[in-house]
């Protein structure tokens, strides 16, 4: 591993900027707030932060609708604040990644204002405009990920435009070379400022079939399931040409040196691994692997998924793991607070770069949002079917002072109800806390090359147990996890008999009998 490949041994921490730390009392987190918390992150032991979008935005989708790719939204601060944050991060040896949203802009981006102004505007073709179907309806049956037709009628120019998400998020036309050039300039802009990489939003959406055929119907769809799953997104996503774009972005990242690109891609593993690209045309360094988000929490199923993912990786393809993010239910809610400790052991000991979602290090759960406080357009569009994302985006709890130390004012979303006890300050003092467990595991990753960059080998286990070896040269680590609520016996392989327990989920000391929700790291 070279210096340039820092991201292989790194642990990435995702910050949802609205909810991390408010410095100016508007109830919304900001860059100055993040800067103030860097020492906390450093003492936790993460290596890099990824910040969800901070660019000027009407906030129809809370920043994933970008109105200017090369500036900072005043709610989050200024470009100077950004530079200061970046400097402070680098001073502490922390890398900083931004969130690039290239698939679509805001409908208030000047590019779109021009594009929609007339059919012969030079930027008309920067977005995806189509004539109506013969009956006057939308050009095809594509459905927005947030529900309803993905086509919006524009009365003034008599055409529809395509939006994979909200109508306030028109998709850019990536088949147009001017669009490509403009977005590559955005990468240059931030790389030149010093950012260490990007998480690329909905990378698999970026190119659509050139002829816009109907998507095939999904016969398994049932009422109560999200609208977009009525069809398979066969023609609207994952088109072969997307890999050329990823390769072009990669070339820019490589030219700037020691940068990383992470692609957001929700696809089955066999399609996902194509986003690593080829030797001649490498794609993103890390196509996000959401296996642990999508899987049933069952030891045998997870063992199978880990094996399938490891087996599918192309030569040189570096793995990565994610347990939660700003779009999906939190791990503490999915598996319960005690099993969440086992999940943290898993995330931080598997082979590959882990991404940790803010708040998971204190075991924050999804927060119930009363109907009058719902903000997420996804919930507002399709209420009551569990698609809302506000519950996983609530403010971070730092201490037991007013508003949990998040800021001087009432935060934009409610705090989790147990914030007075479940917060960073309290957990720092409690040796059994989730924060301390996370801190310990991060320290172990730094101390053991086996954990940071070692090989992975499954170890025989049955029932609720999941076991594996990590190895780098002489450094060998055994991990055994009980994913269930009943005690499980485990026969320690001979090679590991001399190892000792270096971390455990519940504080136990006998890896031959794992209590409920217990897990061990031996090294």
Give whichever of 64 and 309 is closer to ligand GLC, judged by the CB atom.
64
Q: How far is the CB of 201 from ligand GLC (least distance, A)?
A: 5
Give whichever of 202 and 481 is closer to ligand GLC, judged by the CB atom.
202
Burial class of 516 by CB neighbour count within 10 A (0 to 12, 13 to 18, 19+): middle
Parallel, antiparallel, or unpaired: how do β-strands 513-514 and 488-489 relate? antiparallel
- Report the residue from 128, 150, 202, 346 that binds ligand GLC according to the rule CB under 6 A: 202
- Report d(CA 449, CA 443) in Å as an integer: 11
Instruction: State the first-to-last Cα distance of the chain, in angstroms, to the nearest integer.
Output: 22
- Report the residue from 30, 47, 201, 517 that binds ligand GLC according to the rule CB under 6 A: 201
Residue 211 CB partners (closer than 8 Å, separation 6+): none
Give whichever of 202 and 331 is closer to ligand GLC, judged by the CB atom.
202
Could you say which of 201, 227, 379, 390 is catalytic?
201
Q: How far is the CB of 48 from ligand GLC (least distance, A)?
A: 18
Scan residues 43-72 and list those touching ligand GLC (CB under 6 A).
61, 64
Instruction: Please report which residue ranges of 203-336 form alpha helices under DSSP H.
Output: 242-256, 269-272, 291-294, 299-312, 331-335
Scan residues 331-370 and list those touching ligand GLC (CB under 6 A).
none
- Helices 177-193 & 242-256 angle (0-180, nearest 10): 30
Give whichever of 124 and 326 is closer to ligand GLC, judged by the CB atom.
326
Burial class of 232 by CB neighbour count within 10 A (0 to 12, 13 to 18, 19+): middle
- Report d(CA 397, CA 305) in Å as an integer: 33
Scan residues 94-113 and list those touching ligand GLC (CB under 6 A).
101
- Report d(CA 187, CA 195) in Å as an integer: 9
Binding mask 9-48 for ligand GLC (x = CB under 6 A): ----------------------------------------
Angle at 327 between CA 139 and CA 374, to 5 degrees: 90
**Residue 155 is encoded by which pair of tokens?**
């009365």
Q: How far is the CB of 345 from ligand GLC (least distance, A)?
A: 26
Burial class of 320 by CB neighbour count within 10 A (0 to 12, 13 to 18, 19+): buried
Is residue 358 within 8 Å of residue 366, measured between CB atoms? no
- Report d(CA 445, CA 403) in Å as an integer: 33
418 in catalytic set:
no
- The footprint of ligand GLC on this chain (CB under 6 A) covers a number of residues equal to 9
Q: How far is the CB of 160 from ligand GLC (least distance, A)?
A: 19
Give whichever of 395 and 511 is closer to ligand GLC, judged by the CB atom.
395
Scan residues 232-261 and list those touching ligand GLC (CB under 6 A).
none
Give whichever of 236 and 504 is closer to ligand GLC, judged by the CB atom.
236
- Report d(CA 367, CA 236) in Å as an integer: 33
Give whichever of 104 and 334 is closer to ligand GLC, judged by the CB atom.
104
Q: What is the DSSP string of 85-98?
A: HHHHHHHTT-EEEE
Q: How far is the CB of 327 from ligand GLC (least distance, A)?
A: 5
Q: How far is the CB of 264 from ligand GLC (least distance, A)?
A: 6
Is residue 168 within 8 Å of residue 106, measured between CB atoms? yes
Q: How far is the CB of 293 from ligand GLC (least distance, A)?
A: 12
Give whichever of 284 and 522 is closer to ligand GLC, judged by the CB atom.
284
- Report the residue from 5, 125, 327, 410 that binds ligand GLC according to the rule CB under 6 A: 327
Among candidates 100, 77, 97, which has minimal Cα distance to 186? 100
Binding mask 367-406 for ligand GLC (x = CB under 6 A): ----------------------------------------
Q: How far is the CB of 351 from ligand GLC (least distance, A)?
A: 25
Binding of residue 410 to ligand GLC (CB under 6 A)? no
Give whichever of 34 and 66 is closer to ligand GLC, judged by the CB atom.
66
> Among all residues, whose Cβ is closest to ligand GLC?
64
CA distances from 412 to 43, 54, 399, 500, 516 (A): 27, 16, 18, 46, 37
User: Sign of dihedral through CA atoms 225, 228, 234, 238?
Assistant: negative
- Tell me which DSSP letter residue 28 carries: S
Binding of residue 168 to ligand GLC (CB under 6 A)? no
Binding of residue 165 to ligand GLC (CB under 6 A)? yes
Q: How far is the CB of 389 from ligand GLC (least distance, A)?
A: 7
Give whichever of 264 and 464 is closer to ligand GLC, judged by the CB atom.
264
- Report d(CA 468, CA 450) in Å as an integer: 12
241 in catalytic set:
no
- Our CA dihedral for 410, 413, 415, 417, rounded to 10 degrees, sits at 120
Could you say which of 47, 264, 376, 469 is catalytic?
264
Q: How far is the CB of 164 from ligand GLC (least distance, A)?
A: 8
- Helices 79-91 & 177-193 angle (0-180, nearest 10): 60
Is residue 198 within 8 Å of residue 250, measured between CB atoms? no
Active site residues: 201, 264
Q: Which residues bind ligand GLC (CB under 6 A)?
A: 61, 64, 101, 165, 201-202, 264, 326-327
């Amino acid at each position: 591993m070279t210096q340039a490949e820092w991201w292989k041994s790194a642990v990435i921490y995702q910050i949802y900027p609205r909810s991390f730390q408010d410095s100016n009392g508007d109830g919304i987190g900001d860059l100055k707030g993040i800067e103030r918390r860097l020492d906390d992150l450093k003492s936790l032991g993460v290596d890099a932060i990824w910040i969800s979008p901070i660019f000027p935005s009407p906030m129809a989708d809370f920043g994933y609708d970008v109105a200017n790719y090369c500036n900072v939204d005043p709610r989050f601060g200024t470009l100077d604040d950004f530079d200061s944050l970046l400097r402070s991060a680098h001073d502490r040896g922390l890398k900083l990644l931004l969130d690039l949203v290239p698939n679509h802009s805001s409908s208030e981006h000047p590019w779109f204002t021009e594009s929609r102004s007339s059919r012969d505007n030079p930027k008309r073709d920067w977005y995806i405009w189509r004539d109506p179907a013969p009956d006057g309806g939308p050009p095809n049956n594509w459905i927005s990920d947030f529900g309803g037709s993905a086509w919006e009628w524009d009365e003034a120019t008599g055409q529809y435009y395509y939006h994979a998400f909200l109508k306030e998020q028109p998709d850019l036309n990536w088949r147009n070379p001017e669009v490509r050039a403009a977005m590559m300039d955005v990468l240059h802009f931030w790389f030149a400022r010093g950012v260490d990489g990007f998480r690329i939003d909905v990378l698999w959406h970026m190119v659509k079939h050139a002829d816009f055929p109907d998507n095939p119907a999904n016969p398994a769809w049932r009422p109560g399931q999200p609208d977009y799953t009525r069809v398979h997104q066969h023609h609207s996503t994952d088109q072969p040409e997307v890999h050329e774009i990823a390769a072009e972005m990669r070339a820019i990242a490589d030219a700037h040196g020691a940068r990383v690109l992470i692609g957001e891609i929700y696809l089955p593993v066999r399609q996902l691994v194509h986003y690593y690209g080829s030797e001649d045309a490498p794609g993103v360094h890390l196509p996000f692997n959401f296996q642990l988000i999508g899987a049933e929490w069952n030891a045998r199923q997870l063992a199978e998924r880990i094996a399938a993912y490891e087996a599918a990786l192309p030569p040189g393809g570096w793995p990565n793991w994610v347990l939660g993010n700003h779009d999906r239910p939190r791990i503490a809610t999915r598996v319960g607070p005690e099993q969440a400790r086992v999940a943290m052991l898993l995330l931080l000991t598997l082979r590959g770069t882990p991404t940790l979602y803010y708040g998971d290090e204190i075991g924050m759960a999804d927060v119930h949002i009363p109907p009058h406080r719902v903000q997420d357009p996804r919930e507002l569009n399709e209420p009551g079917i569990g698609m809302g994302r506000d519950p996983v985006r609530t403010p971070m709890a730092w201490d037991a002072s007013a508003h949990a130390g998040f800021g001087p004012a009432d935060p934009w979303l409610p705090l989790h109800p147990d914030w007075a006890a479940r917060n960073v300050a309290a957990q720092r003092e409690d040796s059994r806390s989730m924060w301390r467990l996370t801190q310990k595991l991060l320290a172990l990753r730094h101390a053991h090359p086996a954990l940071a960059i070692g090989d992975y080998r499954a170890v025989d286990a049955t029932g609720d147990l999941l076991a594996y070896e990590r190895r780098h040269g002489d450094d060998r680590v055994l991990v055994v996890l009980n994913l269930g609520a009943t005690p499980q016996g485990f026969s320690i392989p001979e090679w590991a008999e001399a190892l000792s327990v270096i971390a455990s989920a519940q504080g136990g000391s006998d890896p031959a009998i794992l209590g409920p929700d217990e897990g061990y790291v031996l090294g």
